[in-house]
């Protein structure tokens, strides 16, 4: 492949904003950096639309090393809401269960420690993992999950730290979720989800939920929103990831990232 002489970097860590897919991020990068317009670019390590943070762009021949980059260790920050479950395990999902019991901090600490180490993690139903020739999200959107067995994968979490724990009322939570959902383009059931969130906020406007902020260091392949759901399930409250930020990939940190929004 002939690469434009102005192209100097083969790996570019960018900041992927909330609401964007990796493909949208690549298109925006090319629009603002025309010297890369005809160069093949892919990414290593997907980030969901509701997640933000470091996304590694691989330029030209560096695409051949994509699997190596995907294996790099990751660090994340995540805010998890306890007491609410959604079918996507993040804010871009339909609320299907609400429990108003608030666990104690000691119980949360104990729960988090149980997730450190090597373990099986079930893929989120709303993910692109193929099953019987179709991505899992197809089976979920068509209400056909009962026809398949959702696969699991081996993951390893090296550390989880509870950074903070605080209460949040339903009205503030709705506003935070709404702000994030409205940033997402494409068809992700936004109208239906926002309607459900609005009804939730009205019905539970006097209720409070727990918002915990955790720092996670892990090997490649961990779904943080699945982890959020599993933490909530183990605590008996349910839970989902309100925010997910990838803060490092290998030796690449947030200080290395390029802001592609102009």
| 113 half-sphere exposure, CB direction, 13 A CA radius | 6
Distance CA 253, CA 249 (A): 7
Is the pLDDT reported for residue 253 higher than 50? yes
Read off φ and ψ for residue 140, nearest 5 degrees. -70, -45
Q: Averaged over 229-249, what is the pLDDT?
A: 98
Q: How many residues does the chain have?
A: 262
110-131 pLDDT, tens digit each: 999 999 999 999 999 999 999 9
The SS3 call for residue 74 is: strand
Is the pLDDT reported for residue 3 higher than 50? no
Is the pLDDT reported for residue 23 higher than 60? yes
The predicted pLDDT at position 9 comes to 80
Model-wide pTM > 0.85: yes
Name the segment(s) of the chain with CATH classification 3.30.2350.10: 74-249
CATH number for region 74-249: 3.30.2350.10
Read off φ and ψ for residue 56, nearest 5 degrees. -85, 120
The predicted pLDDT at position 7 comes to 60
Which regions of the chain does DSSP assign to beta strands (E)?
11-16, 41-44, 51-59, 74-82, 84-86, 95-98, 117-122, 130-131, 134-135, 152-169, 208-218, 239-249, 252-253, 258-259
The predicted pLDDT at position 4 comes to 52
DSSP-derived letter for residue 147 is G
């Amino acid at each position: 492949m002939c690469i434009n002489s102005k192209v100097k970097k083969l790996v570019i860590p960018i900041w992927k904003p909330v609401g964007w897919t990796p493909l949208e991020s690549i298109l925006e990068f090319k629009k603002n950096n025309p010297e890369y317009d005809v160069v093949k670019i892919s990414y290593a390590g997907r980030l969901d639309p509701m997640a933000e943070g470091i996304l590694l762009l691989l330029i030209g021949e560096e695409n051949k090393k994509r699997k190596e980059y995907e294996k790099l260790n990751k660090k994340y920050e995540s805010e998890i809401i306890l007491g609410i479950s959604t079918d996507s395990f993040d804010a871009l999902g339909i609320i299907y269960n609400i429990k108003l019991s608030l666990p104690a901090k000691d119980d949360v600490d104990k729960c988090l420690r149980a997730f450190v180490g090597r373990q099986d993690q079930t893929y989120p139903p709303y993910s692109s993992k193929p099953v019987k020739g179709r991505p899992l999200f197809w089976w979920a959107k068509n209400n056909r999950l009962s026809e398949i067995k959702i696969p699991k994968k081996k993951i390893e979490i090296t550390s989880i730290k509870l950074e903070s724990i605080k209460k949040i009322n339903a009205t503030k939570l709705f506003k935070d979720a709404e702000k994030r959902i409205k940033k997402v383009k494409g068809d992700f059931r936004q109208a239906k989800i926002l309607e459900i969130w609005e009804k939730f906020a009205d019905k539970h406007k006097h209720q409070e939920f727990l918002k915990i902020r955790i720092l996670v260091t892990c090997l490649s392949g961990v779904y943080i929103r699945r982890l959020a759901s599993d933490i909530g399930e183990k605590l008996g409250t349910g839970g989902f990831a309100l925010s997910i930020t990838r803060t490092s990939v290998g030796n690449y940190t947030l200080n290395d990232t390029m802001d592609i929004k102009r």
